[in-house]
Amino acid sequence: MRLLGVEEELLLVDATTGAPRNLAAEVIRAADEHGASTPAPSDDRGGTLGHELHKTQVETDTPPLESLSALDHALRAWRERTRSGALEVGARVLASGTSPLRGESTVERSPRYDVMAERYGLMIAEQLVCGCHVHVEVSGPEEGVGVLDRIRTWVPLLLAVSANSPWAQSTDTAYESYRWQMQMRWPSAGPLPVLGSPDAYRSYVDAMLATEVPLDEAMVYTDARLSAEHPTVEIRTADVCLDVRDTVVVAGLARALVETGAREWAEGVPAPDVPAPLVRLAGWKAGRYGLTADLVHPPTGTSRPAADVVAELLDHVDEALRDAGDHAVVSAGLARLLAEGTGSQRQRELLGGADPDDEDALAQAVLALSRLSVGE
C-alpha cells in the first residue's frame, strides 16, 4: 500500500462579512494555544498548520497515511483545529479555490516572499488561490518519473472532480475552477512533457531554473512533480474541496493513478506522448466546465460527456483501487459528484441565489459555505 498525504490551503474570512481577513498568524497562534481541546491527529510522523503566500490563508498537511478512512479523519481534524483558532479571532474557515468576495489580502512577509513580490509584481498580490496537493509514495526517482510520464493526461480529471472556485472577488467567473486560470499565470505552471528518466527530469528542471524565472525548485509549479523533500509524486492540480469527502475521492484517485502508472512503467508500457499544449487544453476544459459538460477523453484526446470520461478514469484505475481497498469509497464518491455536483455547484446555488447588490445576503452565503467546509 502506497502511503499518501494531503496539503490543503484554506481561506480565512470575516465572521460577519465573509470577506477575506489577514489573520493567518493570529489563527495559527490561537489554534496552537487551544490544541488541547481540539487536538491534532495523533501520529508521530507529523501534520501541521502553517502560513501560505497570503495572510488570508493557512495551509494544513496530514501525515503520511495508508487508509482513506484515516485520511478523512486527519483532514477533518485539521479543519476543525483551524476553525477553533479562527473563531477565537473573529474569523471563519472557508474551503474554496478562490475568495468568493472581494477584500484586501496582504502577502506574507519573509525573505523569499519579498523576492517573489518584487519579481512578479501585481500577480503576487492577486494570487489568492487555494489548492489541494496530494503526495503519493514512490520507490525512487526512476519509478517517480515513470509515473509522471503516464499520469499526465489523466491529471486534468482531478481538477474536474475537485472544481470549487466559480466565484472570485464578488463575480461569477463562468468557470467551475477559476483558480486554475489564476494558477496558470505562473510561468512555471502546466503539464510536464514526457521525460523518460530521472536525468531528463533533472535536466528539465535545471533548464527552468537557469532562466532565473522561477526563484527555486519549489516554484516548479507543474501539474505534477517529484517532491524535493519527500519520496513522493506530488499532484497539484486540484482545487481545495468544499467537502472533505471530495478531497478523499481526489486522494484515492491520485494514489490509484500513481499505482497504475507505476505498474505500466514496470511492465514497459509506453507513456502516451501527448504534447504538453494538448494536455493543457484538457486542463482548461476541466477548469471551465468541471463535471457539467464534456471533458477531454485521455485515450483519444476527443471531447466526450463528463460521465463517460469519469467512467473511463474509474476503469483505468480499477485494479489499483481494488487492491488498495479504495474502490467502494471512490466509486461511490464519483457517483455522488456526478449526481449532485462539485463544490462549485454548491457555491453557485448559494451565491447565485443572493442579490448581487445585497452585501449581507452574499455574506450569509459565504458563511454558509464556511459551515459546510468544516462539517457544521
C-alpha cell at 111: 525573505
Does residue 314 surpass a pLDDT of 90? yes
Does residue 44 surpass a pLDDT of 50? no
How many Cβ atoms from other residues are within 10 Å of residue 17's Cβ?
16
In whole angstroms, what is the distance from residue 33 CA to residue 201 CA? 43
Q: In Å, what is the CA distance from 367 to each residue of 17, 128, 142, 206?
A: 8, 18, 46, 44
Q: pLDDT grade, residue 36 (50/70/90)?
A: very low
Q: pLDDT grade, residue 46 (50/70/90)?
A: low
- Looking at 267-330, which runs of residues are DSSP E strands? 295-297, 302-304
Does residue 60 surpass a pLDDT of 90? yes
Q: In Å, what is the CA distance from 7 to each residue of 203, 230, 311?
A: 27, 13, 27
Least confident of 124-128, 232-236, 355-359: 355-359
The predicted pLDDT at position 125 comes to 92
Residue 336: strand, helix, or coil: helix
Concatenating the DSSP letter of every residue in 146-180 gives HHHHHHTTTTHHHHHHH--B-EETTEE-S-SBHHH
Closest of 136, 166, 337 to residue 234, by C-alpha: 136
Q: pLDDT grade, residue 355 (50/70/90)?
A: confident
In whole angstroms, what is the distance from residue 204 CA to residue 35 CA? 43
| Domains located in the chain, CATH noted | 4-373 (3.30.590.20)
Residue 78's H or E segment, with its range, is: helix 68-88
The predicted pLDDT at position 162 comes to 98
Does residue 13 surpass a pLDDT of 90? yes
The predicted pLDDT at position 35 comes to 67
C-alpha cell at 96: 474554496
Across all residues in the chain, what is the average pLDDT?
A: 95
C-alpha cell at 17: 462579512
State mean pLDDT over 312-340.
Answer: 98
State mean pLDDT over 77-99.
Answer: 97
In whole angstroms, what is the distance from residue 156 CA to residue 186 CA? 17
The predicted pLDDT at position 6 comes to 98
Q: pLDDT grade, residue 43 (50/70/90)?
A: very low
Residue 127 gets which letter from DSSP?
-
Per DSSP, helices labelled H in the chain are 24-33, 68-88, 111-120, 122-126, 141-151, 156-162, 178-183, 198-210, 244-266, 276-289, 306-316, 318-324, 327-340, 343-352, 359-373
State mean pLDDT over 26-34.
Answer: 92
The predicted pLDDT at position 134 comes to 98
Q: pLDDT grade, residue 295 (50/70/90)?
A: very high
Cα within 13 Å of Cα(15), Cβ side: 12
The predicted pLDDT at position 364 comes to 96
The torsion angle over the Cα atoms of residues 230, 233, 237 and 238, rounded to 10 degrees, is: -80
* CA 81 to the chain's CA centroid: 20
Does residue 112 surpass a pLDDT of 90? yes
Q: In Å, what is the CA distance from 192 to each residue of 62, 63, 121, 134, 204?
A: 26, 27, 26, 17, 9
State mean pLDDT over 217-224.
Answer: 96
Residue 233: strand, helix, or coil: strand
Q: Is 223 left (phi over 0), alpha (psi -120 to 50) or beta?
A: alpha
In whole angstroms, what is the distance from residue 123 CA to residue 116 CA? 10
Phi, psi of 217 (to 5 degrees): -65, -25
Q: pLDDT grade, residue 255 (50/70/90)?
A: very high
State mean pLDDT over 56-77.
Answer: 97
Residue with the three cell numbers 517517480 = 144
Q: pLDDT grade, residue 359 (50/70/90)?
A: very high
